[in-house]
Amino acid sequence: MILIKSFSVGEGDMFYIKHGSDNFTIIDCCLLDEKKEHIVRELKEESHDKSIKRFISTHPDEDHIFNLEHLDDELNVLNFYCVKNETSKSEETPSFKRYQELHNSQKTFHISKGCSRKWMNDSCDERNSAGLNILWPDVNNPHFKDALKNAKDGSSPNNISPIIKYIVKSGVTVLWMGDLETEFMEKIKDKVSFSKINILFAPHHGRKTGRVIKEWLDQMDPDIIIMGEAPSENLDYSTYGDYNKITQNSAEDITFECDGSQIHIYASNENYKVDFLKNENKSSFKNYIGTLNL
């Protein structure tokens, strides 16, 4: 059984994947003080039987690395994946300083379009891969180089975010895009191609500034779009209006139990409901809201 979880962490992002193989992946970190002990305890429990554990950082903004130092101290991050960058900040928080330490350490693997890594997407006789593929960035692309320079000069690092695709054979396909902005997507729209996606985590927490461009949405044809926890007035309901959506502001924590061609979905808000999922009467976790049949 594969589990994917999106934590409700305010206006930040934090996910994990408990793979069907001997892998465990955390994507981004936003450990709010009132939730950090609970989240870290869950991460330890869910990953205890996995030999390969990795942390992927989409970009070093505080809402994606908050309390990274606590996570690292508790879990001892041995495999740190990120885009190679020289982001600078006018105020260097403890979380940003830990990000820099990890980025510059021997623990780091710098991800880029089409990169290969054992056991991220490269299997062997010892264990299967995690099914994680990097669709972006192209480190030679001039627009990406501009984004790197802007981050180095102290501007927002949003547009150094990678595009991460998780695919399970005969199963779920999921996409993360960090905080890529719409204006940047327009510049690189012909440089990335997509296939069918089951679950899309809307970039930039679902904000209008991170609206996925039509050319990409048409290729992705997502079954469900997860809207993040940006303030409601900033969420782009119009662009995603015809798509099935789960809004994390209301659903709170979202758990995806991936069982072959079925994705059973749970929300920690017991009052949250949607009308586009099938009822398979599942009960692995509390507050089952329905099943997506692939």
| pLDDT, tens only, 23-61 | 999 999 999 999 999 999 999 999 999 999 999 999 999
- The total number of structural domains in the chain stands at 1
What confidence score (pLDDT) does residue 267 get?
Answer: 98
Separation CA 103–CA 11 (nearest Å)? 24
Q: What confidence score (pLDDT) does residue 236 get?
A: 85
Q: Is the pLDDT of residue 241 over 90?
A: no
CATH number at residue 36: 3.60.15.10
Q: Are 162 and 178 in contact (CB under 8 A)?
A: yes
Segments forming the whole domain that contains residue 68: 2-293
Would you give the DSSP letter of residue 39? H
If you average pLDDT over residues 149-154, what whole number do you get? 98
Return the higher-pLDDT residue of 254 and 170: 254
Q: Is the pLDDT of residue 88 over 90?
A: yes
User: How does residue 218 score in pLDDT terms, banded at 50, 70 and 90?
Assistant: very high
DSSP run (H or E) holding 3: strand 2-6
What tens digit of pLDDT does each residue of 106-140 get? 999 999 999 999 999 998 888 889 999 999 999 99
Are residues 227 and 245 in contact, defined by beta-carbon separation less than 8 angstroms?
Answer: yes
The reported pLDDT for the residue numbered 152 is 98
Mean pLDDT for the chain overall: 96
- The overall pTM is greater than 0.95: yes
Predicted pLDDT of residue 215:
97
Mean pLDDT within 147-160: 98
**Cα–Cα distance, 52 to 71 (Å, whole number):** 17
The pLDDT value recorded for residue 58 is 98
